Structure 1
Amino acid sequence: MNLQALLGNFALILFILTVATGVIWCLDVFYLSKQRRARADAVLAEFDARNARLVAEGVPQDVNGRSALAAKLMRQPTWVEYSGSFFPVIALVFVLRSFLFEPFKIPSSSMVPTLQIGDLILVNKFTYGIRLPIVNKKIIEVNNPQRGDVMVFKYPRDTSLDYIKRVVGVPGDKIVYRNKRLTINGKELSYQQLPDYLDEERLTYSKQYQEIINGVTHRILNDERAPAYVPNPDDFPQRNLCSYNSEGFACTVPPGHYFMMGDNRDNSLDSRYWGFVPDEYIVGKAFFVWMNLGNLKRIGSFQ
């Protein structure tokens, strides 16, 4: 198993560690500790009887020796001690990560300028419903993703990978992207041109616009050198709901699925290429940058 696949299964690894350390902790509390106590009581009874005989003979009682012996007899084995120490920590991390908040690191520039490479973000795991860890099955309905949300999800072509994009289409929406402008259900989005954006790594400029989706205002980038059409889209499930031409594409989002796009529109592999995101692949809603070691000013909410 490579490192990427291992990280993709981190929830499973954490679950196994929680169960393993929890079993050892319970075994010690309800069985091993009682065995140690019974053995210690027997040995200490012999020690007390011997001390009583020595006292009767005029020899002073060894109080300190009894305390040291009791501590030695009740001491946990190393493997039990470490498991008992780690169990509450691992269990707490597992619960927080599975049901409340999970940290992620932004690995690519597909969400620039909203999110930068190296941003460490927090994802709300319960906004879109409570899901069972590992199997990711929703057991409690809360909210559904809305247009404009920045969402983390399992990559449909490789579910061991997590992707982050912006929701631009919800079930039933008709998405049209022509000449790098979005139209949703027949209504073109509002765009306002901003100063060109400088990519400090590549030392290139991109056209920058303010876009509004469902009342959510954010910035997007367009590369004038990139074509308007989508080159070589995959043959993804329900591809028949999409049509492509030289000016862009049009898609109708099927029930239980979402259409995702990166804010760096011409440098993002997203639903235009690999299709719709099923509800069962949703991880959570991204909402906060908690650290960027290269730029501390990045810390804060981006919604």
Structure 2
Amino acid sequence: MAGYFSTFLVILTLGSGLIWLVDHFMFAPKRKERIALAQVSSGVELDQEAIEKIAPLPAITESAISIFPMIAAITIFRSFIFEPFQIPSGSMMPTLLVGDFILVQKFTYGIKDPVWRTQLVEMDEPKRGDITVFKYPLDTNVDFIKRVVGLPGDTVVYRNKQLYIKPSCEVDEKQTAGLKCGEFNKVGLSIVNEDEFSMQGMPLPRLTESLSGIEHDILINPMALETKGRYFQQPGTKVDEWRVPADSYFLMGDNRDNSADGRFWGFVPKENLVGKAVFIWMSFEFDNTPDDFLPGWIPTGVRFNRLGSIQ
């Protein structure tokens, strides 16, 4: 849907801009000539009403001239600088909640054209711990948001609720901060609390995970079985092990037992990256139940304490 909207914005911008240009260079001079001749013939200065009758501005041209600056600004801002997204599910809890509205920095991983998504300018590479919006590899019309766990060349293992990373020794040392290259590193976990979140009455422990020096919180469900039978199986690896190909990334949700992430569909190619989630600009609560008078999509409150930078 976001891809269709981007294409619509570009078409609207180009269309209104083209109408404005054609009018500016072809029809506007002719209107000025008619007005000037009428003014000379009448011998008095014409008022606006008379001018509009002598040289009327077509409605489509007037509309294009009015909306072009605004639409062009929105297209540039949304395509190359920041794009708003809404969090639709709990797969990134506790970091991002349903009802959070976030800004995604589009230029972090490079500047791309908004229609064909061709890389125009190279920028930074994704880092472990980045929360990234990307085009879902199985359906690029859908946007997903997850956390970068594995970089190109890494081997990632997720076993018994524990993450292990074996970074390649051929990458920049900055990308392996806190990890020993060529061997599996057990990613550090520490308990925060056990009763803040729950699912179907089951408490979900909240843990702090230290990923290459980047600390963030995750949720696990101790009673949930690992559905390894549904895992993406990469040739030559164990069922819960993945080797990240070149120019690809392995991403996981922070709500580890309620996230359809790279464990189930594989890797995200670099060209699928949309940008880095950097800011929560609004956060609504949706507490209406089927028995309530108001529908569930109407907010019941605002979580002002959640507004700010995303960790």
TM range, smaller chain: 0.7 to 0.9
Residues 208, 67 of structure 1: alpha-carbon distance in 2 compared, 3 angstrom cutoff: closer
Residues 64, 197 of structure 1: alpha-carbon distance in 2 compared, 3 angstrom cutoff: farther
- SS of aligned partner of 1:145: coil
Among candidates 111, 118, 136, match of residue 117 of structure 2 = 136
Give 1:243 deviation, angstroms. Answer: 2.4
Aligned-CA RMSD value:
1.8
Among candidates 65, 81, 84, match of residue 103 of structure 1 = 84
Question: What is residue 262 of structure 2 aligned with on the other side?
Answer: 271
User: Does residue 257 of the first structure (1) align with residue 270 of the second (2)?
Assistant: no
Letter in 1 for 2:156: I
- SS of aligned partner of 2:228: coil
CA distance in 1: counterparts of 2:196 and 2:203, whole angstroms: 5
Q: How many residues align?
A: 277
Give 1:216 deviation, angstroms. Answer: 0.9
Among candidates 236, 243, 251, match of residue 238 of structure 2 = 243
Question: What is residue 293 of structure 1 aligned with on the other side?
Answer: 284
User: Does residue 26 of the first structure (1) align with residue 7 of the second (2)?
Assistant: no
Structure with the higher fraction of residues in helix conformation: 1
CA distance in 1: counterparts of 2:30 and 2:231, whole angstroms: 65
Letter in 2 for 1:222: I
Question: What is residue 34 of structure 2 aligned with on the other side?
Answer: 39
1:4-19 residue pairs with structure 2 within 5 A? 5=1, 7-19=2-14
Give 1:77 deviation, angstroms. Answer: 1.8
**Contact 2:39–2:45 (Cα < 8 Å) also in 1:** no
Residues 172, 66 of structure 1: alpha-carbon distance in 2 compared, 3 angstrom cutoff: closer
- SS of aligned partner of 1:120: strand
**Contact 1:127–1:142 (Cα < 8 Å) also in 2:** yes
Render the CA deviation track for 1:7-51: whole Å, top value 9, x for unaligned: 431111111001000001111211111121122223333323xxx
Among candidates 101, 113, 118, match of residue 94 of structure 2 = 113
Residues 77, 240 of structure 1: alpha-carbon distance in 2 compared, 3 angstrom cutoff: same
Shifted more, 70-79 versus 159-168: the winner is: 70-79
Among candidates 226, 229, 232, match of residue 224 of structure 2 = 226
Give 1:64 deviation, angstroms. Answer: 7.0
CA distance in 1: counterparts of 2:88 and 2:62, whole angstroms: 38
CA distance in 2: counterparts of 1:241 and 1:143, whole angstroms: 31
Structure 2 unmatched runs, 5+: 167-183, 286-302
Residues 74, 216 of structure 1: alpha-carbon distance in 2 compared, 3 angstrom cutoff: farther
CA distance in 2: counterparts of 1:292 and 1:267, whole angstroms: 21
Structure 1 unmatched runs, 5+: 49-62
Give 1:234 deviation, angstroms. Answer: 4.8
- SS of aligned partner of 2:116: coil
**Contact 2:198–2:204 (Cα < 8 Å) also in 1:** no
Question: Where in structure 1 do 4 or more consecutive aligned residues deviate above 6 Å?
Answer: none
Letter in 2 for 1:14: L
- SS of aligned partner of 1:146: coil
Question: What is residue 71 of structure 2 aligned with on the other side?
Answer: 90
Residues 80, 241 of structure 1: alpha-carbon distance in 2 compared, 3 angstrom cutoff: farther
Identity %: 42
Residues 202, 26 of structure 1: alpha-carbon distance in 2 compared, 3 angstrom cutoff: farther
1:155-174 residue pairs with structure 2 within 5 A? 155-174=136-155
Residues 87, 222 of structure 1: alpha-carbon distance in 2 compared, 3 angstrom cutoff: same
**Contact 1:241–1:252 (Cα < 8 Å) also in 2:** no
Letter in 2 for 1:221: L
Letter in 2 for 1:129: G
**Contact 1:207–1:223 (Cα < 8 Å) also in 2:** yes
User: Does residue 183 of the first structure (1) align with residue 164 of the second (2)?
Assistant: yes
- The two structures have a TM-score, normalised by structure 1, of 0.86
CA distance in 2: counterparts of 1:15 and 1:94, whole angstroms: 7
Letter in 1 for 2:122: E
Render the CA deviation track for 1:147-206: whole Å, top value 9, x for unaligned: 100000000111000000000000000101111111111111111011114447855420
Question: Highest Rg: 1 or 2?
Answer: 1
